[in-house]
Amino acid sequence: MAGIDQFLPENQGPRLGDSGIITGMTADELVAIELDEDEREVLAHGLTEWGGPARCTEPLAVALDFGSVAELFEHVVRLRPLVRGGQPLSPRDWRRVLASAEVVFASDVFGSGWDWQATTGFRDEETIRLLRSLQRKIARTARIHELPPVENPSVENPSAENSRVENPSADDPSTQNLSTEQPSTEHRSTENPSTERPGVDEHPPAEPS
């Protein structure tokens, strides 16, 4: 039986462009990867553990390409059954689930760390072997290392933000001459030092007998 490849144009499929970013495959195009049951379970646990001992922060959620902690949990609900069911995912989703599993397994600060074996049933040695296999398969098939880098949409121009913080009153004319309008009180204590703390060091005169 003839394969489907003969019906596709010769230029079809992913290829590496001049910029080093994949062309012919989009970040949202579905890619099927053949994984065994244990490999799928490790990826699924890498998502499930965020609802257990793992603790995600907003910056970490952005770095993992989930957008935010709230969106991470939405993606977990969507991706977990797809991973366990052996369904194809987009290259971007493959990168998300792999990076999530890597962090959840290895980090004791953000991930499950020491609790991984107790909560998943996978020993550390076995998990490392499975993760290495997943890294090879996913990187080779989904080309995740050729995807554009993750960007933080909430920081558009940090230098502009910093410049406003450094001089918040620069654009407010009502605050520009405050230093010259305020009366000086520097030399008040030298003009009449005896009135600064009246009666503190003086004794009242004795009453006549």
Q: Residue 158 has what DSSP assignment?
A: H
User: Between helices 124-142 and 37-48, what is the axis angle to 10°?
Assistant: 100
Q: What is the pLDDT of residues 151-202, one digit of tens each?
A: 665 544 434 334 333 444 444 444 444 344 444 444 444 444 444 444 444 4
Q: Where are the domains of the chain?
A: 32-146
Tens digits of residue pLDDT in 5-37: 333 333 334 433 333 334 445 667 899 999 999
Q: What is the DSSP string of 73-97?
A: HHHHHHHHHHHHTT--B-HHHHHHH
